[in-house]
Structure 1
Amino acid sequence: MHATTIQQAIQQLKESIFVRVRHRALLQYIEAPSVDETQLFFLLLPSLNGELWHDELQESATTVGIVQASLFEHDKIKEKDATSKEQQLTVLSGDYYSGRYYEILARAGNIALIQKLAQGIVERCEQEIVAYEDTYRTMEQWVDSLCLIETAIIRKFYEAHSFSKYSAVMMHALTIQRLQNEMYTLRGHAPTAVGRAMENCFGQQELTHLLTVAIETQQKLLTDELATLQLSEAVQQFIWQIVKVETR
């Protein structure tokens, strides 16, 4: 397994997602669906690590990618302006992608995965709602929320297909990536709703320190998990590249 092979697998899954949700009218007004390649990598992690992988699993991974695309489209909506044609079509595209994933799984009779993904969507949305509540939360609570937002859908996919041994590595890596993004936006870029809520809790200077500590803690936890989970060298290097840390 080489980095090139990993990237090819990700691109193949990405194209499969695009084919399933491509809609001519939507593409006239809005961009192609947003698909996070890091999320796709972790969807494919069991396959990339040599687990038995068949067409049904690839189909399941594709539908989970569609779910993620749906959620990303809704995340694009401006908080105070959803009246333009572009904004309205972005909402519709998210709904359209949701309908496509339900249709694919229902046609395949994969009710168990539908149930798991529904649970993951609820968990994710509950944590996003927290950002709009005017209550104080500790940094540990914020990290837990960000972890759930970033990982709930893939974790449910793992549970549905008995791949839960990969959950801890996935969760730490994606949490690091999200914390790094929050740090980036804190330094003068457009903040997320969660980022604004965290800054309201702690102030910019204290939040910068807390994010730094949280990233270092998650990196240590990821290192420990990778030491116990047998992954190929190429896969481990790919994970460290994702979280922008040199290979241990």
Structure 2
Amino acid sequence: MDATYITERIEQLKTNIYNQLHHNTLLKYIEDAKLDEQQLFFLLLPYLNGENWDEDLNTSAVTIAIVHASLDEHDKIDEYEATNKEQQLTVLSGDFYSGRYYQLLAETGNILLIREISKGIAIRCEQQMRVYEKNKLTIREWIHYILTIETELIHKFYSFYEFEKYNNIMTNSLVLLRLQHELLNYQNGQVSTFIQMIQSSVNISESVEKVIAQEVDMLKDELSEYLHSSNLLKDDIKLYIKNQLALVQK
């Protein structure tokens, strides 16, 4: 297995997801659902690393990705411009995606999985609502906020199928990728809601940029050491992750 094979499997999963979400009217006015390829990689990680994988698992992975797409669509809504056609269709697209993942889950008849995913959605949404509560949070609390948003649904997927041994690499990697993205945008003058909340609620003497950079460096060190010492992952998977995270080779 090499990076090309991994990329092909991710693209195959994306195709399966888009096939489930295809709707001509929505596509006429708004773009395809934005799928996070890094999240898709970690959904597929057990399969890529040689774990037993069947159609039930594949359907569940597609469903988790659709849940992410649904929640991301709703996140795009501008509360002050929610009456224009594009905003209305964005709301409808999120609702349509929600209907599709419940339909897929219902077809599997897997009530226990439905229950776990519903719990994951509730936990994720509770964290997102904290942004609007205007409470002062520490940098560690904001990191936990990002951790939940990025990883909670995949945690539920791993837990349900007894893949918990992949939680550590998945969690740290996705948090690192999000922080790297936030840091790059900030350096380019794009201040996200997440950065604004840190600036307004965290009492720090250092700059936000420096604090986030320190978190990035710490996560990089932890992940580099883990990938160097762990026997869990195949070597080609380790190399792929190192390249995606821009880690120094050890």
* TM value normalised by structure 2: 0.94
Q: Hey, what's the Cα distance between the residues in 1 that align with 2:95 and 2:131?
A: 23
Match of 1:239 in 2: 241
SS at match of 2:132: coil
Q: Hey, what's the Cα distance between the residues in 1 that align with 2:194 and 2:129?
A: 9
Q: Hey, what's the Cα distance between the residues in 1 that align with 2:183 and 2:148?
A: 18
Q: Hey, what's the Cα distance between the residues in 2 that align with 1:183 and 1:163?
A: 31
Q: Hey, what's the Cα distance between the residues in 1 that align with 2:4 and 2:116?
A: 32
**Counterparts in 2 of 1:38-77, with a 5 A limit?**
38-77=38-77
What percentage of aligned pairs have identical amino acids?
41
SS at match of 1:247: coil
Match of 1:10 in 2: 10
What are the superposed Cα offsets for residues 6-53 of structure 1, whole Å, 9 maximum, x if unpaired? 000000000000000100111110001111111100000000000011
Is the CA contact (8 Å cut-off) linking 2:224 and 2:247 kept in structure 1? Answer: no
Q: Hey, what's the Cα distance between the residues in 1 that align with 2:61 and 2:117?
A: 12
Match of 2:149 in 1: 149
Q: CA RMSD in A?
A: 1.6
**Counterparts in 2 of 1:13-162, with a 5 A limit?**
13-162=13-162
Within the alignment, does 1:228 sit opposite 2:248 as a pair?
no
Q: Which runs of 5+ in 1 are unaligned?
A: none
Moved more, 9-18 or 201-210: 201-210
Q: Hey, what's the Cα distance between the residues in 2 that align with 1:134 and 1:245?
A: 35
SS at match of 2:133: coil
Within the alignment, does 1:211 sit opposite 2:204 as a pair?
no
What are the superposed Cα offsets for residues 142-184 of structure 1, whole Å, 9 maximum, x if unpaired? 1111111100011111011110100110000000011112212
- Seen in structure 2, the aligned counterparts of structure 1 residues 58 and 124 have a Cα distance that, compared at 3 Å, is same
- Seen in structure 2, the aligned counterparts of structure 1 residues 77 and 244 have a Cα distance that, compared at 3 Å, is farther
Is the CA contact (8 Å cut-off) linking 1:66 and 1:97 kept in structure 2? Answer: yes
Q: Which runs of 5+ in 2 are unaligned?
A: none
* TM value normalised by structure 1: 0.95
Q: Hey, what's the Cα distance between the residues in 2 that align with 1:213 and 1:229?
A: 28
Q: Hey, what's the Cα distance between the residues in 1 that align with 2:103 and 2:30?
A: 23
**Runs (4+) off by over 6 Å:** none
Q: Hey, what's the Cα distance between the residues in 1 that align with 2:172 and 2:53?
A: 24
Is the CA contact (8 Å cut-off) linking 1:132 and 1:193 kept in structure 2? Answer: no
Q: C-alpha displacement at 1:191, in angstroms?
A: 2.8
- Seen in structure 2, the aligned counterparts of structure 1 residues 89 and 141 have a Cα distance that, compared at 3 Å, is same
